[in-house]
Amino acid sequence: MGLLDYKFENSNVFITSLENLLNWARLSSLFQMQFGLACCAIEMMAASASNFDIMRFGVIPRATPRQTDVMIVAGTVTLKMASRIKRLYDQMAEPRYVISMGSCSNCGGPYWEHGYHVLKGVDRVIPVDVYVPGCPPRPEALLEGIMKLQEKVRKESLAKKKQTA
């Protein structure tokens, strides 16, 4: 039901400790939706494997969007795939985040000029939180992207977002 979701006008001392607890719990167990589309998927697999191991950060791959917190879009997004990405992003449960990995999903990558079937950046269909540059990015770069996302989650709050004037 979400009794406490976005119900407070501004943060007070009552809920900051609750926020800290919630944010710590959420950032330590970011279940990822394995969304490897192209070559960046290999680097994502390398990051999940034993040498770099994102599982020690709590990032466990799940196959269904209903059980995940973060979708790591790794690889070239074609126009055919873009509608599926939108539908899968809609089927994720809040709080949900998106990491765009690699230059193809950041901005179209090497296909930016002549690609007739490539979506120039996945942020044309879904909102992205962290962009990880590289072609493909090294596993350490993906790890840094996940840590930046953890920093972002740490600053989330239960209070209503202030309307910027």
- C-alpha 82 chain-centroid distance: 16
Does position 161 bind another protein by CB under 8 A? no
Looking at beta carbons only, is 90 or 140 nearer to another protein? 90
For the bound state, the minimum distance from the C-beta of residue 96 to another protein, rounded and expressed in Å, comes to 10
Residue with tokens 């790890």, as numbered in its chain: 143
Does position 139 bind another protein by CB under 8 A? no
Does position 125 bind another protein by CB under 8 A? yes
Does position 119 bind another protein by CB under 8 A? yes
Does position 7 bind another protein by CB under 8 A? no
d(CA 12, CA 53): 38
Please say whether the beta carbons of 43 and 138 come within 8 A: yes
Stretch of 36-44, 63-71, 98-106, 140-148 contacting another protein, by CB under 8 A: 63-71
Does position 91 bind another protein by CB under 8 A? yes
130-132/70-74 β-pairing:
unpaired
Which amino acid belongs to residue 70? Answer: V
Does position 95 bind another protein by CB under 8 A? yes
Stretch of 45-53, 93-101, 135-143, 144-152 contacting another protein, by CB under 8 A: 93-101
Cis? peptide before 136, omega within 30° of 0: yes
Residue with tokens 């939180």, as numbered in its chain: 129
Give the relative orientation of helices 13-27 and 139-154 as an angle to the nearest 10 degrees.
160
Q: Which residues bind another protein (CB under 8 A)?
A: 1-6, 18, 22, 64-66, 79-80, 82-85, 87-88, 90-91, 93-95, 107-108, 112-113, 116-117, 119-120, 124-125
